Amino acid sequence: MYIEIKEVMAKITSVTPIMEKHGKKKKRPAHSIIFEFAMPNTVLDAMDGNGLREAFYRKPKSASVDPKSGQSKLDVSNVSDGISQLKFSWWQQWIDIPGELTGWNLTLHTGNTERSHIVLDEAKVGSFATLPKDLGIALVKCKAIVHPTAGEKGRIDELLQTEVKISIMPPDTQQAELPGTTTDQAGEGEEESEEEAQSEESAEEPHQEEPETAAQTSGDAPIKDPFAGTDLARGAVKSDAKVTTKKSRKGGPQPDGSWPFPSGVPA
């Protein structure tokens, strides 16, 4: 299934906080939002490619009549092929359509500026159902699992049972593939173009030479000693410095081991 919904007026019929399970222990808080909105019946071709639209609609043979009032309806549908009249005017059953959109962007167009919009990325949209209506209209119902912030949760809860414009679009990173190419081939082409751009930038940059050091300019010649042939190199350096020793204290022991006493005092 591949369906894009851009700024369609939808009614939020349910908002439920849930807990997603990832494995046995990992859990992640989330919100479940259910939308209902009206679309041209051509949306059924994108939702189901097995002739669902042709099974319920046909080209008008006569004016459609309202079963309750008995008055004829004015067909103002803009279906290009003219298949707009519902074959079974009594049909009131929702039809479940399998399919899921994972990782898409859900935008709630609240307020008057883009800054006031609620943008929810990595949304999982599924549980699609449709209710065919007359005059080329099909009601669509779907459920989105999103992970809003704490501030966004309160704003979403306030939108319950109200109508707001919504958009369900593919992620920005998804790029359209060229005919005859796959996603892997498109990625390889991007990598090659990036490598070519880098090689061209390196070729355009001027080559800067680093300044030669003294060792490089001198080559292999040994460096001369500036003190060669002087007294410093021979070790014969005269010095005027005087070396003094600390005098021994008078009260200390003499070299022969005796202790000096003041003169005139008997031993």
Which has the closest alpha carbon to 161: 6, 7, 15, 39? 15
Segments making up each domain of the chain, as ranges: 5-61+80-169
* Residues 128 and 144: beta-carbon distance below 8 Å: no
In whole numbers, what is the pLDDT of the chain averaged over residues? 77
**DSSP per-residue codes, 99-118:** --EEEEEEEEE-SSSGGGSE
Please say if the pLDDT value at position 173 is more than 50: no
Please say if the pLDDT value at position 105 is more than 80: yes
Please say if the pLDDT value at position 215 is more than 50: no
What's the pTM?
A: 0.61
Sign, Cα dihedral of 87, 88, 89, 92: negative
Please say if the pLDDT value at position 167 is more than 90: yes
**Tens digit of pLDDT for each residue in 22-76?**
777 677 889 999 999 999 999 999 998 889 999 999 998 888 777 777 777 777 6
Beta-bridge mates of residue 31: 17, 146
